[in-house]
A and B are shown apart, each in its own frame.
Chain A
Amino acid sequence: MSRIEVRSLSKQFGARSAVEGLDFEVGEGEVFGLLGPNGAGKTTTVRMLTGLLRPSSGGATVCGVPLDGDGEALRSRVGLLTEQPGLYDRLTARENLRFFLKLHHRDTAEAWDSARRWMQRFGLAGREDEPCGTFSKGMRQKLALIRALLHEPQALFLDEPTSGLDPESARSVREAVGELAAGGRTVVLCSHNMAEVERLCGRIAVVKGRLLAVGTVPELRRQTGVVEIHVEGTAGAAGEALGSLVPPCVWVAERHSLRVTLAGGVSIPDVVALLAQARVRIHAVLPAQRALEDVYLELTRGAETEAT
């Protein structure tokens, strides 16, 4: 069942279009990655989905609440970790958390038990009564994450949750995200850390003003259309046979392996037919095993090329 349904979501600031026609769905218990370069509209999208900005057109339903519906209900069902922790420096960790619990009308013993467990888990136990201004960047980030979780939101929006954390803390945050999803929470994760996104996210949307691709990591790899063709003899010579492809495709040869990036309209059978015509003996045609980073860069660069 979808907890977040985004339909043709667009946002304009004056004449500038920040987000255009986004469409995706995120299910219960799913960790969904939102990838895109700086200025791609990720933060704007998250701000719209958390009720901070009004869409210019299109819409979305988050936790059963339409964006143009009850903003208070929406904001009480979502949790947001912003890129900057945004803590009150003069207030202690406990006072910072208590303030937000009061705003959510949840300043209860149960909520404090939960807060204590999270603080223990993130290594903040014993620091509850220290002013946040004395905390390190990592501690602030972890406290901000606890603040986003305390009112038990159904959907969590995390902007760079492990930014500034040491490896051990980053791992504990990643494990917590996994557990939250396993417990039925929906998590939308904005990050530039590809390894983290690949490890945590079931599906990923790549955005750059508009939606470039959405799917699981294997699906994204397929969408970007890079195939690895194992041939007999030198792959370089085989690659020469692809010169007549229209539109032209980029290929890279390495010993007996040819990596071909399929340009729009060119399919795998077209490539295979051309190679066969040139009497190249093909041993295997496989979707290329590439890092998510390569897929991401290809998608975003492709969008740049289209734009120019």
Chain B
Amino acid sequence: MTFRLHRALAVSWKEALDLRKNPGLLASMLALPAVLVLVPTGVVWAWLRHPDEISFRAMALFYEPNLPRAVDPVRFMIDKLVVDWFGIFLLMPVFVPILISSQSVAGEKERRTLEPLLASPVSASELVLGKSLASVVPAVVITWLSFAAFVGAVDAVAWPVVHAPVLPNGMWLFGVGLVAPLFAFLGNGLAVLVSARVGEARLAQQLSALVVLPLMGLVGGQLAGWIRAGTGYYAVLGLVVLVLDVVLVWASVRLFDRERLVSRWS
């Protein structure tokens, strides 16, 4: 079957319209970025209210026992926080597409709109691309805007003490620019895959959201000092996710089989 971009874009257009008119979903989508920007900014602000060097050096030595005396432990801890925080920040590009795609795919079944849609000339790959664009693009845009807000907020709070910009740094630019979109595809792919198998948007959301557990585990490893995060670490993570993305796209297109969807859900 011929792939027609105009049909994939039509699906995206419809999804975007539907999203704009869903205030509940929009609120859920914006709550997470707000938390992910405000929490680390608040931590930096709280630290810098009483920048007691002895405590900071103790904390810094836990993570870096060979920390040279010349290194400012306050700056070290702030850098350590923002590097580790990127692992948490990645929840955003994963979670936002899960919210959108669960609604857009399983929601079609719930609202009984699936059969007329599948009776149109749209192909499985056009549907998957259209729905994916409608969830990945907002997720990436929100991630980038949140990153800009995070940079502004952290630098504003840290400047009086460190007298230099903390962000953006190379790792964050690499991570937000390349790794975050890959994670957005991961969240979307999982949600599409799960939504194609279950009949309710809420169940699809709950099951897809389980993907955050391994991510939380990795962040836990960073905080415990077992994993040293950095550009290389996030690059490897990005490569693993890229492979998962390819597998998920392939599986999603296969699962978007008219026969299967119509006979199970219409």
Report which A residues bind B (CB closer than 8 A): 13, 47, 50-54, 70-73, 75-76, 78, 80, 82, 84, 86-91, 95, 99-100, 102-105, 131, 144, 147-148
- 1/0 per residue B78-98: CB within 8 Å of A? 000000000000000000000
CB nearest neighbor in B for A72: B121
Please, which residues of chain B bring their CB within 8 A of the CB of A88? Answer: 14, 18, 111, 113
- Inter-chain contact A102/B10, CB cutoff 8 Å: yes
Q: Hey, what's the 0/1 contact readout for B156-198 against A, CB within 8 Å counting as 1?
A: 0000000000000000000000000000000000000000000
21 contacts between A and B (CB under 8 A): A52-B115, A52-B118, A52-B119, A52-B258, A53-B258, A75-B120, A80-B116, A82-B112, A82-B266, A84-B112, A84-B115, A88-B113, A90-B17, A90-B22, A95-B17, A100-B116, A103-B7, A104-B121, A105-B6, A105-B7, A147-B116
A296 CB → nearest B CB, Å = 26
Enumerate the 3 nearest inter-chain pairs by beta-carbon distance, A residue then B residue, closest first: A102-B10, A90-B21, A84-B112
Closest A residue to B18 using CB positions? A90
CB pair B1 A47 closer than 8 Å:
no
For B22, give the chain A residue with the smallest CB separation. Answer: A90
- Using CB atoms and an 8 Å cutoff, list the residues of chain B in contact with chain A: 1-2, 4, 6-7, 9-11, 13-14, 17-18, 21-22, 111-123, 258-259, 262-263, 266
Please judge, given known A-B contacts A53-B263, A91-B18, A105-B6, whether A86 and B113 are in contact too, CB under 8 Å. yes
Contact in complex: A103, B116 (CB < 8 Å): no
Residues of chain A within 8 A of B4, CB atoms compared: 105
Q: Which residues of A contact B115 (CB under 8 A)?
A: 52, 80, 82, 84, 86
Which residue of the partner chain, among B111, B114, B120, contacts A104 with CB atoms under 8 Å? B120
Q: A70-B1, A91-B21 are in contact. Are A75 and B262 (CB under 8 A)?
A: no
Q: Is the CB of B6 within 8 A of A102?
A: yes
Complex CA–CA separation, A232 to B120 (angstroms): 62
Q: Is the CB of B119 within 8 A of A80?
A: yes
Q: Which residues of B contact A71 (CB under 8 A)?
A: 1, 258
B-chain residues with CB within 8 Å of residue A99 when the two chains form the complex: 10, 13-14
Q: How far is the CA of A148 from the CA of B115 in the complex (A)?
A: 12
Q: Which residue of A lies closest to B107 (CB)?
A: A88
Residues of the B chain whose Cβ atoms lie less than 8 Å from the Cβ of A91? 14, 17-18, 21
- What is the distance, in angstroms, from A106's C-beta to the closest C-beta of chain B? 11
Nearest-CB distance from B118 to chain A (Å)? 6
What are the residues of chain B within 8 A of A90 when measuring CB–CB?
A: 17-18, 21-22
**Are B112 and A86 in touch, CB under 8 angstroms?**
yes
Chain B residue at minimum C-beta to C-beta distance from A13: B263
Q: How far is the CA of A51 from the CA of B10 in the complex (A)?
A: 21
Residues of B within 8 A of A103 (CB): 7, 10-11, 120-122
CA distance A53 to B117 in the complex (A): 14
Provide the residues of chain B in CB contact with A147, threshold 8 Å.
116
CB distance from A63 to the nearest CB of B (A): 13
A82 to chain B, nearest CB (A): 5
Measured between alpha carbons, how far is A58 from B115 in the docked complex, in Å?
23
Contacts of B22 in A (CB 8 A): 90
Residues on A with C-beta less than 8 A from B111 are 86, 88-89
Whole-angstrom CA separation of A221 from B71 in the bound complex: 99
A89 to B121, CA, bound (A): 22
Q: Measured between C-beta atoms, what is the minimum distance from A98 to chain B in Å? A: 8
The answer to whether A52 and B121 touch across the interface, beta carbons within 8 angstroms, is no
A50 touches B121 (CB 8 A): no
Q: Name the one of B11, B17, B116 contacting A86, with C-beta atoms under 8 angstroms.
A: B116
Q: CB distance B259 to A76 under 8 Å?
A: no
Q: Cα distance A41–B4 when bound, in Å?
A: 33
Q: Judge whether B18 and A51 touch: CB under 8 Å.
A: no
Complex CA gap A90/B116 in Å reads: 17
Question: Complex formed: what's the CA distance from A287 to B112 in Å?
Answer: 45
Q: Could you list 6 further interchain pairs (A-B, Cβ under 8 angstroms) beyond the known A73-B121, A105-B7?
A: A50-B119, A80-B119, A84-B112, A84-B115, A95-B14, A100-B116
Closest to A81 in B: B116
With CB as the reference atom, state the residue of chain B lying closest to A52: B262
Contact residues in A for B122 (Cβ distance below 8 Å): 103
**Cα distance, A73 to B2, chains bound together (Å):** 10
How long is the Cα–Cα vector from A53 to B259 in the complex, in angstroms? 5
Which residues of chain A come closer than 8 Å to B262, judged between CB atoms? 47, 52-53
CA distance A232 to B116 in the complex (A): 59
A76–B121 touching, CB < 8 Å:
yes
A53 CB contacts on chain B under 8 angstroms? 258-259, 262-263
Tell me the complex Cα distance, A90–B15, Å: 11
Chain A residues whose C-beta falls within 8 Å of the C-beta of B116 in the assembled complex: 80, 82, 86, 100, 144, 147-148
A87 to B21, CA, bound (A): 15
Q: Which residue of A lies closest to B261 (CB)?
A: A52
The residue in A47, A50, A88 that gathers the most chain B C-beta atoms within 10 A of its C-beta is A88
